[in-house]
Amino acid sequence: MATAVPAERDAVAEAVHGLPGVEVIAAGVGPARAAATTATALAGAPYGLVISTGIAGGFAPHAPVGSLVVADEITAADLGAETPDGFLPVTELGFGTVSHRPPEALVREVATATGARPGAVLTVSTVTGTAVRAAWLRERHPTALAEAMEGFGVAEAAAAHGVPVLEIRAVSNPVGPRDRAAWRIGDALAALTDAFGKLAPVLESWNPHDHQ
Ligand SMILES: O=C(O)c1cccc(C(=O)CC[C@H]2O[C@@H](n3cnc4c(=O)[nH]cnc43)[C@H](O)[C@@H]2O)c1
């Protein structure tokens, strides 16, 4: 499992400590650092699943503060080009990819075990700070529940190593006008610990070969 910062890593590790074959790393903030750290970890050991996790901004009213989301789609929302006619994703410029899809059955199992809402989780390099930007993102991605800064990077690293990926987020703040003092980080970290406690049986029974 790859979080951004040590506080998130510790919240997850508290719940999964001692599970065989499970490692939790603080892979760094932002998609590039998270991708590099995850790729390095995957090069050193034969993992069957990678989970990008941590806190996130939630799109109101779909993902309120304190709620959990599980990505059915991990999408790089700002990877592209701004043009006079609007934003173009890199795929429309003829390059790469902007989205990864976690295994459907596993997304359902996580949602059932934890109560997490399934939906798109956006990866951004700049935290949204205005209502206009939040509305623009939801318009472009109508199923988006949350935004964070690492999922797509972790998913790219996992894909490069042929390993399935999940993204599970606890909502610490609404996506929108910046109000850092209002972020409920403690509550979100507690929700993460609770969720991963409930996930232990799902992770123990996960066999990537059943889902090819
Ligand atoms: O200050 C702390 O104690 C603390 C503890 C845990 C995490 C943090 C972070 O600042 C984590 C940064 C991380 O959080 C994600 N995030 C959270 N809200 C948003 C958002 O509205 N938009 C985008 N990303 C968000 C993101 O993945 C960051 O890497 C601090």
pLDDT computed for residue 128 by the predictor: 98
CA 133, 139, 140, 144 dihedral sign is positive
**Euclidean distance between CA atoms 159 and 161, whole angstroms:** 5
From residue 162, give the alpha-carbon distance in Å to each of 134, 155, 208.
Answer: 33, 10, 11
Cβ pair 198, 76 in contact under 8 A:
no
Task: For strands 25-26 and 50-58, give the pairing.
Answer: unpaired
pLDDT reported for residue 205: 85
Nearest Cα to Cα of residue 155 among 98, 100, 91: 100
By most ligand atoms within 8 Å of CB, the mutation choice from 1, 3, 5, 130 for ligand 1 is: 5
What residue ranges line ligand 1, CB within 6 angstroms?
4-5, 7-8, 29, 54-57, 124, 127-128, 147-150, 172-173, 175, 185
Residue nearest to atom 29 of ligand 1 (CA): 29
Token duo for residue 59: 């799109």
Query: Does the complex come out with an ipTM higher than 0.90?
Result: yes
Each of the 212 residues of the chain gets a pLDDT tens digit; together they read 999 999 999 999 999 999 999 999 999 999 999 999 999 999 989 999 999 999 999 999 999 999 999 999 999 999 999 999 999 999 999 999 999 999 999 999 999 999 999 999 999 999 999 999 999 999 999 999 999 999 999 999 999 999 999 999 999 999 999 999 999 999 999 999 999 999 989 988 877 666 55
Single pTM value for the model: 0.96
CA 1 to chain centre: 11
The vertex-145 CA angle with 141 and 151, nearest 5°, equals 85
- The residue whose CA is least distant from atom 5 of ligand 1 is 7
76 forms beta bridges with: 123
